Amino acid sequence: MRKILLLCCVLVSQVSADVRLIDDLGREVHLDAPAHRVISLIPHATELLYDINAHEQLIATVRFADYPEAAQSKPRVGDYNAINSEAILTLQPDLVIAYPTGPSRPEIDRLIDLGIPVFFSDPQSFETIAQAMRDLGQLTGHIDDAQAAADAFENGIAALADRYANRTELSVFYEVWHQPIYTLNGDSYISDVIDLCGGRNVFAHLPVLSPQVSLEAVFAANPDVIVTDNPQQWQHWDRLHAVQSQALISTDADVLHRPTPSLLIGARQLCIDLDQIRAHRRTD
């Protein structure tokens, strides 16, 4: 009986133990106990909370936090451009998860000043995506579920790396936006996906995470492949090698633009698409 009571005391102490973590801005976030009323101001964090089975603690999120489907039923307290601070305060969260930057940052700083714990999350690599799951597990008390989800993600990445190792390199231009043209540099997880599939990001060297580039810069890079959400808009630029060889890949932003395990779906498809282009080049 004493052993049972001792075990119960240990379990209770683990559940109620305070949490101290460093967020993606290098700030220490302290919770007296794992959070039970979480507001996510980021679509990727909303998805990750479902991935680690902490969704029942999620009391509100933002517009475009639409995956998984169950997340669509959660109350909305704003979007990337603006948040409803009064609605957030009314909900009395014990944790808010937010982007480190963006138009709503002043309002988020106000929440911090009012004593609401805010954890800034902005994973930009495979490693930090897995760590984001582990961090959310610590913050919500779902440590084992988070560890399992992170391990599964890392194993999926490792399997793709093994499968597509030593592929013939293809230079890749990844278009995020067309007018004006935006891309991603080598510090982004999407650039990691390109590398994983045996590609080379032609704008990896640029100093800004999401730089604007000119059409002339794309011509100068003359990539083997263009990845875009609208291949048709590149068809008339037949000076480009990718257009000449019809190496235009249509991307699904829903699975490639969120740093979550959904990224594996987009990564697998991009690897397949690049392999098909390699096969086509061999037959020409």
Q: Residue 228 phi/psi, 5° resolution?
A: -155, 160
- Per the CB < 8 A criterion, the answer to whether 154 and 264 are in contact is no
> Measured between alpha carbons, how far is 54 from 235 in angstroms, rounded to an integer?
45
Of 134, 132, 153, the closest CA to residue 144 belongs to 134
Query: Would residue 9 count as lying in a domain?
Result: no
Mark residue 246 as left, alpha or beta (left: phi above 0; alpha: psi -120 to 50; beta: remaining): left
Q: Same domain, yes or no, for 101 and 185?
A: no
Task: Give CA–CA dist 9/48, Å, rounded.
Answer: 30
Range 62-67, long-range pairs (CB < 8 A, 24+ positions): 65/40, 67/43, 67/254, 67/258, 67/262
Of 94, 117, 151, which residue sits at a domain end? 151
Per the structure block, which two tokens stand in for 166?
């030593």
Looking at residue 16, its pLDDT comes to 56
| In-domain check, residue 160 | no
Q: Is residue 253 part of a domain?
A: yes
Structurally, the chain folds into a number of domains equal to 2
Along the 284 residues of the chain, how does pLDDT read in single tens digits?
A: 444 444 444 444 444 579 999 999 999 999 999 999 999 999 999 999 999 999 999 999 999 999 999 999 999 999 989 999 999 999 999 999 999 999 999 999 999 999 999 999 999 999 999 999 999 999 999 999 999 999 999 999 999 999 999 999 999 999 999 999 999 999 999 999 999 999 999 999 999 999 999 999 999 999 999 999 999 999 999 999 999 999 999 988 888 889 999 999 999 999 999 999 999 887 76
Do 222 and 144 share a structural domain? no
Q: What is the pLDDT of residues 77-104, one digit of tens each?
A: 999 899 999 999 999 999 999 999 999 9
Distances (CA, A) of 270 to 167, 170, 247: 13, 12, 12
Burial label, 4 (beta-carbon count in 10 A; 0-12, 13-18, 19+): exposed
In a domain, 1, yes or no: no
What's the whole-model pTM score? 0.89
DSSP 123: -
Same domain for 108 and 207, yes or no, is: no
Are 104 and 61 members of one domain?
yes
Q: What is the pLDDT of residue 1?
A: 45
Please tell me whether residues 24 and 139 are part of one structural domain.
yes
Task: Kindly state whether residues 143 and 173 are assigned to the same domain.
Answer: no
Where among 125, 151, 177 does a domain terminate?
Answer: 151
Model pLDDT, residue 284: 64
Q: Domain check: are 127 and 245 in the same one?
A: no
210 located within any domain: yes
My answer on whether 145 and 217 are in the same domain is no
> Which pLDDT score is estimated for 3?
42
Question: Among residues 126, 151, 176, which one ends one of the domains?
Answer: 151
Tell me if 14 is assigned to some domain: no
What phi and psi values does residue 22 have, to the nearest 5 degrees? -95, 125
Both 133 and 177 in one domain: the answer is no
The verdict on residue 134 lying in a domain is yes
Q: What are phi and psi of 256, to 5 degrees?
A: -105, -20
In a domain, 208, yes or no: yes
Please return the burial class of 202, using the count of CB atoms within 10 Å of its CB with bins 0-12, 13-18 and 19+: buried
Q: Assign 3-class secondary structure to 86-121.
A: HHHHHHCCCEEEECCCCCCHHHHHHHHHCCCCEEEC
Q: Which structural domain range is residue 211 located in?
A: 165-283
For the domain that residue 89 is a member of, what is the CATH number? 3.40.50.1980
Q: Are both 126 and 194 inside the same structural domain?
A: no
